[in-house]
Homo-oligomer: A and B are copies of this chain.
C-alpha cells in the first residue's frame, strides 16, 4: 500500500516530468495526489523545494536501478547501452510524449536559482553516469574513456528526450542509440 507521503512524492515526480518545476504548484500536487493539504505541509515542512528534492531523489534512484538492471545483459556494452536507449525511446512514445527525462526540466530551470536543487540534480546525473561507465569498464574499456563516453551518453539521452518530446517522434532517441552504440563498439 502506498503511504500518503509516497503518493505525494509520486505525483510530484509525474508533474515535474510533465511540465517542470515552476509550472507545478502545491495546490495541483494536493489535488492530483488526492491528499489533504495539511499532510503535504506535515510531511514536507520545507514546502515546494523540499518536496522537489525528495521527488527527484526518489525518481533518480528508480532510474539508477533501472539502468543497472537493464545493462546486465547482453555482455557487450555497445549492445546493452544501445538497447537501453532504444527502450527509453519506446517508453517516451508510450507516454504519448508526456514523460521521459524526469529531471531534465527542473535541472535547467533551477540551475541558476537553487543550489540545493542544482546539486541534487548533479549528484543524480553523476550516479547515472557511473552506472554506464561501470558497464563499459567491465566490457574492457579503460576507465577514463568509459567515464567520458558515459558523460556523452547522459548528455545525448537528455537531449534526445527533448527532441523526441518536441517532435512527437521516437526517432531522435533511436538515432542516438544507434550512433552511441557504434561509437562504443569502435572504442571497446
Contact = CB atoms under 8 A, between A and B. Distances in A.
Contacts of A163: 125, 151, 154-155, 158
A23 B159 contact: no
A162 interface: yes
A156 interface: yes
A121 B159 CA distance: 13
Nearest to A178: B148
Contacts of A157: 155, 159
A32 to B, nearest CB: 15
A102 to B, nearest CB: 11
A148 B40 CA distance: 46
A81 to B, nearest CB: 14
State the number of copies, please: 2
A166 interface: yes
Contact of A155 (B176, B182, B183): B176
Contacts of A179: 148-149, 152, 183
A107 B155 contact: no
A17 to B, nearest CB: 9
Interface stretch (A47-55, A62-70, A109-117, A134-142): A109-117
Given A156-B155, A183-B182, A162 B19 contact: no
Interface string A140-179: 0000000011011011111110110111100111011011
19 contacts: A18-B112, A19-B22, A20-B108, A22-B23, A104-B108, A107-B165, A109-B109, A125-B163, A151-B163, A151-B171, A152-B156, A152-B175, A152-B176, A154-B163, A155-B155, A155-B172, A158-B159, A182-B183, A186-B186
Interface of A: 18-20, 22-23, 97-98, 101, 104-105, 107-109, 111-113, 118, 121-122, 125, 148-149, 151-152, 154-160, 162-163, 165-168, 171-173, 175-176, 178-180, 182-183, 186
